[in-house]
Amino acid sequence: MSSIKYLVVNPSNYIRHSAYIPSSKPETQRAILAASLANGKSIINNDLRCLETSTMKEACRSIGARIIEESGRLIIYGTGGKISPDKEVIDALGSGLVFRVMTALTCHSETPAVISGDAILRTRVMEPLLNALIELGGNISSVHMNGKAPFVNWGGYIGGECKIEGNISSQFITAILLTAPLAQKSTTIKIKGEILSLSYIRQTLEVLTIAGIQFQHNENFTQITVLPGKYNPAEYTITGDYTSCSYLVAVATLFPCDLTLRNINSKSLQGEQAILTFVEKMGLDVIRNDQQNETRLINKKGQLTGNYEFNVSDCPNIVPTLAALGIYVDGCFRVTGGSITRLHKSPRIKAMINELLKLGVNIRPLFINDVYDGFEIHGAPSYSGNCILSSWGDHRIFMSLFIASLRCHQANYIDGYKDVHCSFPDFFKEFEQLGITFQEVTPQYGKVE
């Protein structure tokens, strides 16, 4: 008998009027890091509590930070830039950012450190960061000699200059930026080629500014220099998470509705804020109210119509969401610029195409240099449903397939539903409030009944 459990996602024909957006995961993680490296007490208001922010907190505790969790805020007493691992292994679990930043920070440890992660993380690309840190004086090796996790870090980061590709992962650049102030010399990062996910680099630089770290960059961010310095204690206030927001925005495109999203503000550097621009172009009314920290979406049409093309090179995390809402657009719906998602928790474009084809969606991949870069969809009002869909072990694929199931004629069965705790722990609570119904089932003898 199979032990895999599925979530049965039932069709709907309406949604209710209000939902709460969780706080930003990338903003929370960066604030935790900066506060943990400061000398003194920092406060983080409106932080996100989820698996990946918990993993970041545990990693920062393991290098010496004291983190107190209160209702609605974190209080962090930092290490003053001292990196003193108290565990034999720093476990990043499935978080690429935790693994990459801890790999860089432990270059400043006086004792060797081992950084590892779960089975999926150990398959992800890490070698460009390894090579860049070695250029800066680090002495790091891959345990399996394949450029992937786990790593052993023997220390040695001095500073200087390194080169790194801009189209693999912005987290490599973030890791070096956050580590650079602790070095003896300034660090210059020269970013080669197209820079994808630039908004995440901007978010990192914003945190460095708040913490009092000095840096310079050229106009297009292809060269960034960080000076040695001390992280100052600071107070951070986290805004809503636009990737999590995208799933609630997507459901608003499926039905006539007047939906208010709370805890979301336009004063954010998150590139995924583009989801609001995209749906506005598709015909939704988007009314932002930053004073009330909310956004109102009005869909007067129900099914959206027209031909659209969106570039996601600065907002790649919403690629699966766009695929989910695009299947119901009456017209040609194209998304490009998503090549970097092949290196995320799953190859996200390939995963969404594979699963949506099971539903009978008219979707085809778009390639650049033989790499999945996007997709083209010719949508339909509905699909039959009654399909078994795979999340590919990726919380964002699950949440997107959940949205894609809501206008099918019959319920779909999706695995991996517990992974929402990686970034959006209250996902099911919010959709229940909207009137969406679902239930857990265990298939018998490998079949869903």
16 is in an annotated binding site: no
Residue 407 in marked binding region: no
Residue 344 marked as a ligand binder = yes
Q: Whole-angstrom Cα distance, residue 150 to residue 156?
A: 18
- Establish whether 170 is an annotated binding residue: yes
State how far the Cα of 353 lies from the Cα of 366, in Å rounded to an integer: 11
Q: Is 66 annotated as a binding residue?
A: no
- The verdict on whether residue 396 carries a ligand-binding annotation is yes
Sign of the dihedral through C-alpha 159, 161, 163, 166:
positive
| 326 assigned to a ligand binding site | no
Determine whether the annotation assigns residue 192 to a binding site.
no
DSSP letter, residue 321: H
Please check if 2 is assigned to a binding site.
no
CA distance 431 to 412: 16
The 10 Å CB-count burial string (b at 16+, else e) for 286-305 is: beeeeeebbbbbbbeebbbe
With beta carbons less than 8 A apart as the criterion, state whether 349 and 376 touch.
no
24: burial class by Cβ within 10 Å (0-12, 13-18, 19+)? buried
Asked if residue 30 belongs to a known ligand binding site, the reply is: yes
Nearest to 247 by CA among 424, 5, 435, 378: 424
Is 171 part of any known ligand binding site? yes
Distance of CA 238 to the CA centre of its chain: 15
Nearest CA among 380, 449, 444 for reference residue 1? 444
Residues annotated within the binding site for 3-phosphoshikimate are 25, 30, 169-171, 197, 344
Residues annotated within the binding site are 25, 30, 96, 124, 169-171, 197, 344, 348, 396
Residues annotated within the binding site for phosphoenolpyruvate are 25, 96, 124, 171, 348, 396
